Amino acid sequence: MKTAKPFLKWAGGKSQLINEIENSLPQDFKKKEFTFIEPFVGSGAVMFWMLNKYPNIKKAVINDINTDLTNTYITIRNNVREVIEQLDEWQSQYHQFINDSDARKEYYYKKRALFNTRESGNVEQSSLFIFLNRTCFNGLYRVNKSNGFNVPIGSYKTPLICDEENLLVVSKLLEKVEILNGDFEDTMFHVDKDTFFYFDPPYKPLSNTSSFNSYAKDEFNDNEQIRLRDFCEKLNTNEHYWMLSNSDVKGKNPNDNFFDDLYSNFNINRVQARRSINANPDKRGKLNELLITNYTTEAEYAKAI
């Protein structure tokens, strides 16, 4: 059977960090049953990988503040056939305009305007979410202060809008996932005795022009980063494992100790990642990111023995 993978393109998606994440799991992770919680699920690259690879995950909970996103997850889980039917129709229509850029633009912007009314039923609204993700500029999700999706059309000639095979396996996998839409702290109500959290919050920008924090209408600023650290400390006190990703601001500015100070009580690892979403191709490439944990990782344990 095909392995489920993210059905969305996503800024900051973690597919290219999977090896580093695997090496950074707790050293006893495979030895007992865990509850897996991801409070900022985004495209779900880590969630899909974890559930595919580790049958010892007995329960999975995902959350995101983005209601359009979580509704799409729920609709794919509950009504995947209807979503596939709608996307297949739109894909055929969109591909007809391959040599007519004006007609293609008109089609895209009509779909964007319809999405922003948020008056459609769950199937159509979720299908619009996927359609826009597959056809907009670089698969970027960005909204304005009024929560209006405002990304322009992309330049893809024949984008894969309806990936039927993957959507079917995603739907099957999501049957065992609880899907929440709220603040990251609310996930505390879903912990079990052995719980592993993976945090992938909106990254602290490396510069004034590199922010993707307009992912939601409310900005995830430094105060929110501090609130997340406080939540991680609470989880640590309650003996729950957690791993957190974020940007390495110190790599951009050696005097910027924001995260080094914030997480000074925990293990901070710098790993190489590839950024693929940038308007300027010259600015795409490898750079360091942070993987922060509150436990001894499998890699560290292997070195010690």
- The neighbour count for residue 127, using CB atoms within 10 Å, is 29
128 touches 115 (CB < 8 A):
yes
Cross-strand partners of 288: 272
230 marked as part of a ligand binding site: no
Q: How far, in Å, CA of 85 to CA of 181, rounded?
A: 26
Q: How far, in Å, CA of 63 to CA of 39, rounded?
A: 5
The pair of three-digit structure tokens given for residue 140, joined into one six-digit string: 């970027």
Identity of the amino acid at 23: N
Q: How far, in Å, CA of 144 to CA of 196, rounded?
A: 33
64 marked as part of a ligand binding site: yes
Q: Kindly report each contact of residues 118-123 with a partner whose C-beta sits within 8 Å and lies 24 or more positions away, as own/partner.
A: 118/68, 122/71, 122/74, 122/75, 122/79, 123/75, 123/79, 123/82, 123/83, 123/86
For residue 265, CA distances in Å to 232, 244, 253, 261, 288 come to 11, 14, 22, 9, 21
For residue 40, CA distances in Å to 61, 88, 109, 207 come to 11, 29, 28, 22
14 marked as part of a ligand binding site: yes
Helix/strand/coil percent split, the chain, to 5: 45, 15, 35
163 marked as part of a ligand binding site: no
Q: Report the candidate in 45, 42, 47 with the shortest Cα–Cα distance to residue 15.
A: 45
Query: 257: which residues sit within 8 A by CB, 6+ positions away?
Result: 250
Q: How far, in Å, CA of 68 to CA of 61, rounded?
A: 17
Q: How far, in Å, CA of 277 to CA of 18, rounded?
A: 18
- Which residues does the annotation place in the binding site? 10, 14, 64, 200
- Which residues does the annotation place in the binding site for S-adenosyl-L-methionine? 10, 14, 64, 200
